[in-house]
Amino acid sequence: MLSASSHGRTPAAIRLVAAVVLLGLVLAFPALAPDPFILSVGVVIASYAALAVAWNFVGGLTGYISLGHAAYSGLGGYGTALLITEAGVNPWVSMVVAALLVGAAAVPIGIASLRVRGASFVIVSIALVLILLLVAQSWAGVTGGSNGLRVPRPFGTDVLRPEQHERFFYLFVALTLVALVLWWLIDRSRLGTGLKAIREDEDKAQALGVPTFAYKLVVFVVSAFFTAMAGGMYALWFGSLDPIFQFSILTGSYLVLMSLLGGVRSLLGPVVGAVIVGYAVEFFKNQYGDTQLHLVALGLLLALVVLFMPDGVIPWLTSQLDRFRPGGTSIREVDAAQLAEERKALEEAKR
Amino acid sequence: MTFLETNGLTKAFGGVRAVDEATVSFQEGRINALIGPNGSGKTTFFNCVTGMIRPDSGTVTYRGRDVTGHAPHRIARAGLGRSFQLCRVFPRMTVLDNVLAGVRSTGLAHRLRGAHNPDDIARARELLARVGIEHLERSEARDISYGQQKLLELAGVLMAEPDTIMLDEPAGGVNPALIGRIATLVRELNAEGRTFVIVEHNMELVMSLSDHVVVFDRGRPIASGAPADVQNDPRVLEAYLGV
Amino acid sequence: MSLSLLLQSLILGLLLGGLYALLAAGLTLYFGVMRVVMIAHSAFLILAAYLAWFFTKQTGLDPLLSLFITVPLFFAAGYVMQRALLSRLRPATLTMMSVLLTFAIALVIEGGLGYLFSGTQRRIQLGYSGASLELWGARIAVVKLIAFGLAAISLLALFLLLKKTRFGQALRATIQHREAAQLLGIDTDRIAGFGFGLGLATAAVGGTALALDATIYPSLHWHWIGPLMAIIVIGGLGSIPGAAIAAMILGVTQALLQIPMGTTWAQTVFYVALFATLMFRPQGFFGGRLAQRF
């Protein structure tokens, strides 16, 4: 596991080798996949990975949890589709332009939701998806409403389905890699230190001179941009858009679950989470079809993660293992507020 | 030019005026102390000055500039560093990263450079050595003792290169040996030209450390002057003892 | 004709605003006692509506009688939820994690309802379902009046409970300053649990009122949570009168906008207002000192 902020627990050489092997396996996946269906599942998981890494620019670096990232992927998808069909722009150019537009739109949204702390950010993130769903469904003239919107394929008709899947798989992997590299660069930069300071204690960060609002806004916009890129790419692959699925709170909560499960503090956490949750979601859909049980399963899993492993499954597993290790010390589960509490008691006692 | 002063500063919570038309001026290059009974509005006053709370009315002037209602990071940039009551560090960052969070950044290129560059690290280590916790640089801040966290907080504040340092109860909750160490540090830093404004309950410390004392009661200053004068001021005795 | 239409919309807006106000008061209570944005509030609303529907379907009795079951049940559920689940979260990350936890609860409720009762739309048929009053040319359904009455009585009861009783005093003290309340000898943990129970009880009442005249389906709660959250932000997080005023104003605005814009577009008024509030007055418009810090 590449842990973002720990320097040198595992030698760099080993980590590099592990990363190369991992990447090799990922790139070999289309060749190893036994049939086109499995391959298409791979594409879906790769798209989730791109989305989750994009989400983690905000979630991981600042600790602000957005439940409404589907708003940006959906806008990216519709933007791409409309630029192709209405303006006749090249599909790939459309995808990038749409993502840039979404990034620009994220500026006022960020200004409104990041100015005050926490609660209003979450409220806006949810409200945004709900409002876009309303608009996309009502504005049928443009979005096709509930009938959906067809997206022209970027590759010619001579490219068969499995070939399409393979190409898009590599495209999603490439997008994920670009996002990962940028996340890593930010994480280790001074900007990243400031952001993590915000995640830990926003007042304190401000008092040290960190321009918290501007920092949050920067990663918020970056996050919206990458989410929209992934959404646009998905639109090109899937070939049709339906508001219900594009502007879905569920999609947003998948991203949260993936990142939390994998660990928001680590570079590859969201990718690990995307593989686990993405596979589980596809499996569930396949096994139980349309019943509402997948909602129950998702809800229970999310609750378990939030209650028992808010740092992710890998830190949780290591701490569980530590318990059984002889002489291992239990991980201290304290944080700023608890420390403050203890201190208050201490002071009270002194008086 | 005025150094740091407030004029008619007021902040009410609900019906209670925590700070009530406080007009205070602090002296440059000195160790200023702000004392007063519990609930007299010292911390709220502190928070208004450093921008953590927006005052209802009145002004804060720092080096001739009106900084009233500025965002806290702008006030910090202007050279006014602060610590928090009960001490706040970033619990899940390493001790070294805690200090590095105080690096002053200017411009985009500077911000995108690696956080762990040799110059910054050297300076951070120097500050950690200065407060005496350099051996802990790899520990997470939540794993070190409270006293060590207090020292760490001070190192972080220093990293931001403030001219003026406001400390909210630096001696609160720490053992006498550490209080002595903090006092020595404050004196040294002051001798190097840094101004201090200290909120403190420990009278012994205040009287031995400070050059200028401002006494707060019910949200406003009731007396100020040299420690010895203030100590014998009847108004101060009244506020403290309620006689 | 247009005048009576206007009047009708105005009255319908006020009636709907009453229900919004009651539910927003519940949300405000959770936020007040624990700084929690309770996403599952509207899911519990729909759950209560389903329980009312199921009760009537099984027993043939009036759905209003289901209140005697759902209100105590929801109160207890709220208490347990706060004590057993939310209080386990770490204080430092409480705001974010509580949103996720209550979101998870909402998903479980929605999924559970869908599994048990299927996604089919349901509606209670009552003897007085079709009855309406005529008032200067405006036709107002009796069930809407009953729903409003229910909401108004509950809101009044809640208000009196908070203002006049010792428990209410303790609850308000806890909301305003938890530590200070503890110093006064108030068991703030228990009070927070009761605050949650009360909040959930408003969802029980609201759900029954909703079931009287609306078609219900499991995913309906998403249509409620957005407007409700907008209301509490605009009202200034943490202020019950603020939330009530915002609820009435927005309810009426929505109803009036329905005339020229249609139902769907009229819904967007909540989000536009929410967005504008955060842009220009993030502390909300009606009291609510808490918002500045959250």
Interface contact B73-A343, CB threshold 8 A: no
Distance of CA C59 to the CA centre of its chain: 27
Is the pLDDT confidence value at C294 over 50? no
Mean pLDDT of chain C: 87
pLDDT at position A342, please? Answer: 55
Is the pLDDT confidence value at A345 over 60? no
Q: How many angstroms separate the CA atoms of C85 and A299, rounded?
A: 14
Q: How many angstroms separate the CA atoms of C115 and C109, rounded?
A: 10
- Residue partners of A19: CB distance under 8 A and separation at least 6: A2
Is the pLDDT confidence value at A42 over 90? yes
In this structure, are strands C138-141 and C132-135 parallel, antiparallel, or unpaired? antiparallel
| Residues in B touching C176 (Cβ below 8 Å) | 14
Mean pLDDT of B123-134: 92
The answer to whether residue C279 sits within a structural domain is yes
Q: pLDDT-derived band of residue C178, with 50, 70 and 90 as boundaries? A: confident
In chain B, pLDDT over 90 holds for what percent of residues?
A: 42
Interface contact A207-B84, CB threshold 8 A: yes
Q: How many angstroms separate the CA atoms of A63 and A122, rounded?
A: 11
Residue A297, φ and ψ in degrees, nearest 5: -60, -45
Domain B1-79+165-175+198-243 has CATH 1.10.10.410: no
Size of interface A-C (CB pairs under 8 A): 159
| Residues in A touching B160 (Cβ below 8 Å) | 208-209
Q: How many angstroms separate the CA atoms of B170 and B178, rounded?
A: 10
Smallest CA-to-CA distance from B99 within B130, B123, B71 is with B123
Smallest CA-to-CA distance from C63 within C3, C127, C16 is with C127
The answer to whether residue C146 sits within a structural domain is yes
- Residue partners of A251: CB distance under 8 A and separation at least 6: A51, A69, A70, A73, A245
Instruction: Write the DSSP string, B181-220.
Output: HHHHHHHHHHHTT-EEEEE-S-HHHHHHH-SEEEEEETTE
pLDDT per residue as tens digits for the range A128-158: 999 999 899 888 888 888 888 888 888 877 8
Residue of B nearest to C293 (CA): B53
Size of interface A-B (CB pairs under 8 A): 124
Is the pLDDT confidence value at C207 over 90? yes
- Identify which of A5, A188, A197 has the shortest CB distance to residue B101: A197
User: Does C37 reach chain A within 8 Å, measured CB to CB?
Assistant: yes
Is the pLDDT confidence value at A8 over 50? no
Is the pLDDT confidence value at B60 over 60? yes
Interface contact A123-C233, CB threshold 8 A: yes
- Identify which of B50, B115, B157 has the shortest CB distance to residue A190: B115
Chains with at least 3 CB pairs less than 8 angstroms from chain A = B, C
Residue of A nearest to B166 (CA): A207
Interface contact A5-B90, CB threshold 8 A: no
Residue of C nearest to B52 (CA): C293
| Residues in A touching B147 (Cβ below 8 Å) | none
Q: How many angstroms separate the CA atoms of C38 and C23, rounded?
A: 11
| Residues in A touching B142 (Cβ below 8 Å) | 332, 334-335, 339
Mean pLDDT of B44-61: 90
Best probe of the A interface among C31, C44, C96, by most A CBs < 10 A, is C96
Residue C115, φ and ψ in degrees, nearest 5: -70, -45
Secondary structure class of C39 (helix, strand, coil): coil
pLDDT at position A348, please? Answer: 52
Instruction: Give the ipTM.
Output: 0.88
Q: pLDDT-derived band of residue C132, with 50, 70 and 90 as boundaries? A: confident
pLDDT at position A89, please? Answer: 92
Q: How many domains does chain C have?
A: 1
Is the pLDDT confidence value at C278 over 90? no
Mean pLDDT of B28-51: 89
Tokens of C189: 């943990």
Instruction: Write the DSSP string, A190-228.
Output: HHHHHHHHHHH-HHHHHHTT--HHHHHHHHHHHHHHHHH
Mean pLDDT of chain A: 86
Q: How many angstroms separate the CA atoms of A277 and A55, rounded?
A: 15
Tokens of C21: 């106000």
Amino acid at B23: T
pLDDT at position C290, please? Answer: 45
CA of C128 vs chain A CAs: smallest distance (Å):
32
The ranges of chain B annotated as CATH 3.40.50.300 are 1-79+165-175+198-243
Residue A94, φ and ψ in degrees, nearest 5: -55, -45
Q: Higher confidence at residue A267 or residue B105?
A: A267
Is the pLDDT confidence value at A259 over 60? yes
User: Does B200 reach chain A within 8 Å, measured CB to CB?
Assistant: no
CATH of the domain at C176: 1.10.3470
pLDDT per residue as tens digits for the range C78-90: 999 999 999 888 8
pLDDT at position A144, please? Answer: 84
Interface contact A209-B102, CB threshold 8 A: yes
How large is the greatest C-alpha to C-alpha distance in chain B, in angstroms? 61
The answer to whether residue C116 sits within a structural domain is yes
Distance of CA C273 to the CA centre of its chain: 18
pLDDT at position C202, please? Answer: 94
The answer to whether residue C183 sits within a structural domain is yes
Mean pLDDT of C127-131: 76
Q: Which residue has 């006014």 as its token pair?
A: B80
Best probe of the B interface among A190, A195, A198, A264, by most B CBs < 10 A, is A190
Range of weakest confidence among A3-17, B182-196, C235-249: A3-17
User: Does B54 reach chain A within 8 Å, measured CB to CB?
Assistant: no
Is the pLDDT confidence value at C37 over 70? yes
Most confident of B110-119, B168-177, C40-49: C40-49
Mean pLDDT of C235-263: 87
Is the pLDDT confidence value at B240 over 70? yes
Interface contact A211-B71, CB threshold 8 A: yes
pLDDT per residue as tens digits for the range C75-120: 999 999 999 999 888 887 888 889 899 999 999 999 999 999 988 8
| Residues in A touching C110 (Cβ below 8 Å) | 292, 295
Mean pLDDT of C6-15: 88
pLDDT per residue as tens digits for the range A170-223: 999 999 999 999 999 999 899 999 999 999 999 899 999 999 999 999 999 999
Is the pLDDT confidence value at B203 over 50? yes
Chains with at least 3 CB pairs less than 8 angstroms from chain B = A, C
Best probe of the C interface among A115, A120, A129, A250, by most C CBs < 10 A, is A120
Q: pLDDT-derived band of residue C262, with 50, 70 and 90 as boundaries? A: confident
Mean pLDDT of C125-131: 77
Domain annotation for chain A: domains and CATH numbers:
12-311 (1.10.3470)
For residue A21, CA distances in Å to A14, A26, A273, C95, C219 come to: 11, 9, 19, 39, 44
| Residues in B touching A205 (Cβ below 8 Å) | 90, 101
The answer to whether residue C249 sits within a structural domain is yes
Mean pLDDT of chain B: 88
pLDDT at position A331, please? Answer: 42
DSSP state of A232: H
Is the pLDDT confidence value at A162 over 50? yes
Q: Higher confidence at residue A320 or residue C283?
A: A320
Region of residue B157 (left: phi > 0; alpha: psi -120 to 50; beta: else): alpha
The answer to whether residue C293 sits within a structural domain is no
- Residue partners of C29: CB distance under 8 A and separation at least 6: C195, C196, C198, C199, C202, C240
Tokens of C269: 């008024």
Is the pLDDT confidence value at A20 over 60? yes
Region of residue C44 (left: phi > 0; alpha: psi -120 to 50; beta: else): alpha
- Identify which of A64, A131, A336 has the shortest CB distance to residue C271: A131
**Parent domain of C74:** 2-288
Q: pLDDT-derived band of residue A350, with 50, 70 and 90 as boundaries? A: very low
pLDDT at position A185, please? Answer: 93
User: Does C99 reach chain A within 8 Å, measured CB to CB?
Assistant: yes
User: Does A210 reach chain B within 8 Å, measured CB to CB?
Assistant: yes
In chain C, pLDDT over 70 holds for what percent of residues?
A: 96
Tokens of C12: 């319908």
Range of weakest confidence among A23-27, C186-190, C256-260, C290-294: C290-294
For residue A63, CA distances in Å to A111, A198, A201, B242, C71 come to: 17, 8, 10, 47, 36
Q: Higher confidence at residue B114 or residue C260?
A: C260
Q: How many angstroms separate the CA atoms of C4 and C13, rounded?
A: 14
Is the pLDDT confidence value at C63 over 50? yes
In chain A, pLDDT over 70 holds for what percent of residues?
A: 88
Q: How many angstroms separate the CA atoms of C286 and C238, rounded?
A: 10
| Residues in A touching C224 (Cβ below 8 Å) | none
Angle at A94 between CA A149 and CA A216, to 5 degrees: 100
Chains with at least 3 CB pairs less than 8 angstroms from chain C = A, B
Angle at B166 between CA B164 and CA B169, to 5 degrees: 155
- Identify which of A134, A300, A302 has the shortest CB distance to residue C264: A134
User: Does A190 reach chain B within 8 Å, measured CB to CB?
Assistant: yes
| Residues in B touching A217 (Cβ below 8 Å) | none
Interface contact C107-A122, CB threshold 8 A: no
Mean pLDDT of B48-71: 90
- Identify which of B74, B111, B159 has the shortest CB distance to residue A191: B111
- Identify which of A188, A196, A346 has the shortest CB distance to residue B116: A188
CA of A68 vs chain B CAs: smallest distance (Å):
27
For residues A126 and C225, the answer to whether their CB atoms sit within 8 Å is yes
pLDDT at position C72, please? Answer: 96
Interface contact B89-A204, CB threshold 8 A: yes
pLDDT at position A309, please? Answer: 87
User: Does C119 reach chain A within 8 Å, measured CB to CB?
Assistant: yes
Q: How many angstroms separate the CA atoms of C229 and C253, rounded?
A: 16
Smallest CA-to-CA distance from A336 within B92, B51, B191 is with B92
pLDDT at position B14, please? Answer: 66
Is the pLDDT confidence value at A160 over 90? no
pLDDT at position A50, please? Answer: 97
